[in-house]
Amino acid sequence: MAATVVAAATLPGCGNSPTRVYVTAAEERSLPTMQFSAGVELCPDKDLRQRDRLAIKRRAHLHVRALIRALRIHPDAFVHTTYASSDEGPGKQDITVRQLVEQWIQLSYCAPNVRDQLTAVSQRRG
């Protein structure tokens, strides 16, 4: 397995506050950076064409593998994510790999195998 390099960023104006560690750009491209997308990806709308549903599910399973890999390597590294809020509109937020995995665990209601797999890896990390 290739070594993963993690980018570090210093927060301006924070004095001696700890440096935030981020996943690499390449790793971030493999992760699901749209918050709360697990339900849509793992449980695509049944009204979609089968070809589209399968493509969405394939992407979801690639995201699951990337989440597991990142959680094993550096669970506390940050990921740049986006979200859509009915109250605030679209936004951006940096969250940890662990937090992203927790979202996927909570939203994988229609994919119990995925939920169990992510939960098992998450619990091993402590």
Long-range contacts at 19-26 (CB < 8 A, ≥ 24 apart): 20/78, 20/94, 21/74, 21/76, 21/77, 21/78, 22/77, 22/78, 22/79, 22/80, 22/94, 23/70, 23/74, 23/77, 23/78, 23/79, 23/97
Could you tell me how many residues make up the chain?
126
SS3 percent helix, strand, coil of the chain, rounded to 5, is 45, 20, 35
**126 residues of the chain, pLDDT tens digit each:** 444 444 555 445 555 567 899 999 999 999 999 999 999 999 999 999 999 999 999 999 999 999 999 999 999 999 999 998 888 889 999 999 999 999 999 999 999 999 999 999 999 865
DSSP conformational letter for 10: P
Candidates 94, 81, 82; CA nearest to 21 is: 94
pLDDT value at residue 18: 74
DSSP code, position 4: P
Q: How far is CA 83 from the centre of its chain?
A: 12
The pLDDT of residue 2 is 43
Q: Are 75 and 100 in contact (CB under 8 A)?
A: no
Domain boundaries, the chain: 30-125
